[in-house]
């Protein structure tokens, strides 16, 4: 069965993806706004909002909401990203009406109690502290900041304690009023769902959602550069980055295949050369992260500081070499990995919902799986070499967390990739 879409009078798009052979359903309220839409002095507001929407509504306290969903064996959850925020329920198909009711109540009637706000600030402060004490988490915030310095896109999703401290209840209300608007939101239900029933209930429950669209975020300007957080750890965590294309680029799939061949699996160049052949690291990977106006190819590893110099040398050498030496066999294997990953995701109702949200936010339409597979299949070796050359020509980002004193100067890494 194909996904179905209904646009309500307010502009809210309701999408369903029926899966006849499952008893479960994922119901999500997605907003096409995330942390990159924040003001610099309010970093962390989106994630704080995620917490506050679960603290009760004008008619139900948090305990009542939790009991209602767990009485039917379901769950409520959420996540915040730089370009999206999602609130979702996992339930049996028969309980989709309850999930819709709870999500609508949360989104349209939040209490945002002042005491709850102060408590959640303290909770998030602990979350921030935990992330900063975990180098495997901290490295990616440092990396993002190095790639997009002094911009909302470069700020950590959790925010900073000092910026959170100044956020008031009125700030939350103002942000919701300006950004949580119908044309920038999606209601998506996948699994054991009926489109007409979901659309009819949504039209009633979300009637008060303000029409219009959220303001556009500050345009990203990739700069690159180096940030090093020197700490005494047993391992040095290292991230390298090169500027990629946006999620709307015609080169997106070629870049995804380049990243996959480089470090997307156990047969990839980096995994073989860094781990298998030399034992320099337990994990090494490469991935592509596209945004609506920019993107980045990231390479990550964690290794013994005494062997970090050699690991960096191997990583840069293999990255530069792949541009000219990627083989037809490697490209075919990368295509198979992307194809299988996409098709396997179709077995999950939550993955289907997330994919539909990304498709609609990026392209303004539901892109069929077959179309995506066709785009992947059409990529040629020349396409991958061309985008690889462009990646290498972009400014380098290098981020480290740990004992990085023995690592080569940043300029040396830049020169090796440019050679």
| For range 60-83, the mean pLDDT | 97
CA angle in degrees (0–180, nearest 5) for 211-217-219: 145
End-to-end CA distance of the chain: 51
Among 181-190, 295-304, 398-407, name the one with the lowest average pLDDT. 398-407
**What would the mean pLDDT of 350-354 be, rounded to a whole number?**
97
**Beta-ladder partners of 412:** none
Q: Same CATH fold, 225-418 and 4-205? A: yes
pLDDT band at 404 (very low <50, low <70, confident <90, very high): confident
Give the separation between CA 303 and CA 222, rounded to whole angstroms.
Answer: 27
Cα 191 to Cα 20: distance, rounded to the nearest angstrom: 7
Class of the CATH domain delimited by 4-205? alpha beta
Q: What span, in angstroms and rounded, lies between the C-alpha atoms of 275 and 272?
A: 6
pLDDT per position as a tens digit, 241-291: 999 999 999 999 999 999 999 999 999 999 999 999 999 999 999 999 999
> Average pLDDT of 288-300?
97
More reliable by pLDDT, 405 or 35: 35
Contacts of range 369-373, beta carbons closer than 8 Å, 24 or more positions apart: 369/342, 369/343, 372/253, 372/342, 373/339, 373/342
Between CA 256 and CA 368 the distance in angstroms is 18
CA 4 from chain centre, in angstroms, equals 24
pLDDT score recorded for residue 253: 98
Exposed, middle or buried by CB within 10 Å (0-12, 13-18, 19+), for 63?
exposed
Residue found under tokens 């541009």: 323
pLDDT in tens, 187-246: 999 999 999 999 999 999 999 999 999 999 999 999 999 999 998 889 999 999 999 999
Burial code (b: 16+ CB inside 10 Å, e: under 16) for 200-216 equals: ebbeebbeebeeeebee
Confidence band for 53, pLDDT divided at 50, 70 and 90: very high
HSE-up of 84 (CA within 13 Å, CB side)? 22
Residue pair 189/213 in contact by the 8 Å Cβ criterion: no
Question: Hey, where are the domains in the chain?
Answer: 4-205, 225-418
Nearest CA to 356 among 6, 36, 91, 16? 16
Does residue 418 surpass a pLDDT of 90?
no
Q: Which residues have a catalytic role annotated?
A: 50
d(CA 197, CA 204): 11
Taking alpha carbons only, the member of 43, 76, 349 closest to residue 192 is 349
Q: Kindly tell me if the per-residue pLDDT of 419 is higher than 90.
A: no
Pairing of strands 396-402, 236-244: antiparallel
**Residue 386: band (very low, low, confident or very high) from pLDDT cuts 50, 70, 90:** very high
pLDDT of residue 232: 87
CATH topology of domain 225-418: Cytochrome Bc1 Complex; Chain A, domain 1 (3.30.830)
Tell me the C-alpha distance between 366 and 258, whole Å: 25
Share above pLDDT 70 across residues of the chain, in percent, rounded to a whole number: 100
């Amino acid at each position: 069965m194909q996904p179905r879409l209904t646009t309500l009078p307010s502009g809210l798009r309701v999408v369903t993806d029926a899966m006849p052979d499952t008893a479960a359903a994922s119901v999500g309220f997605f907003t096409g706004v995330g942390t990159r839409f924040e003001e610099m002095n309010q970093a962390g507001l989106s994630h704080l909002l995620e917490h506050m929407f679960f603290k009760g509504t004008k008619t139900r306290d948090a305990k009542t909401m939790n009991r209602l969903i767990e009485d039917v064996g379901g769950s409520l959850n959420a996540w915040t990203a730089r370009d999206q925020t999602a609130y979702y329920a996992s339930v049996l198909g028969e309980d989709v009406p309850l999930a819709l009711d709870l999500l609508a109540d949360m989104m349209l009637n939040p209490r945002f109690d002042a005491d709850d706000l102060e408590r959640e600030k303290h909770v998030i402060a602990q979350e921030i502290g935990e992330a900063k004490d975990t180098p495997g988490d901290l490295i990616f915030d440092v990396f993002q900041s190095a790639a997009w310095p002094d911009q909302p896109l470069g700020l950590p999703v959790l925010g900073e304690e000092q910026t959170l401290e100044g956020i008031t209840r009125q700030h939350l209300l103002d942000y919701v009023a300006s950004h949580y608007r119908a044309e920038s939101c999606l209601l998506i239900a996948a699994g054991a769902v009926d489109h007409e029933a979901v659309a009819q209930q949504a039209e009633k429950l979300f009637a008060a959602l303000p029409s219009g669209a959220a303001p556009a975020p500050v345009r990203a300007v990739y700069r690159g550069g180096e940030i090093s957080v020197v700490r005494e750890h047993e391992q040095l965590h290292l991230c390298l980055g090169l500027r990629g294309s946006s999620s709307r680029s015609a080169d997106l799939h070629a870049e995804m295949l380049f990243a996959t061949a480089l470090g997307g699996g156990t047969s990839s160049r980096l995994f073989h050369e860094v781990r298998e052949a030399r034992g320099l690291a337990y994990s090494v990977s490469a991935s592509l992260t596209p945004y609506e106006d920019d993107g980045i190819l990231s390479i990550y590893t964690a290794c013994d500081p005494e062997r970090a110099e050699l690991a960096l040398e191997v990583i840069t050498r293999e990255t530069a070499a792949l541009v000219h030496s990627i083989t037809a066999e490697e490209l075919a294997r990368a295509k198979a990995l992307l194809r299988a990953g996409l098709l396997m995701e179709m077995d999950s109702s939550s993955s289907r919902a997330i994919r539909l949200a990304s498709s609609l936010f990026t392209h303004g339409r539901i892109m069929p799986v077959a179309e995506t597979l066709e785009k992947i299949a059409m990529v040629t070796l020349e396409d991958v070499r061309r985008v690889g050359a462009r990646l290498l020509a972009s400014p380098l980002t290098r981020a480290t967390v740990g004992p990085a004193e023995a690592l080569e100067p940043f300029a040396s890494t830049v020169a090796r990739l440019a050679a």
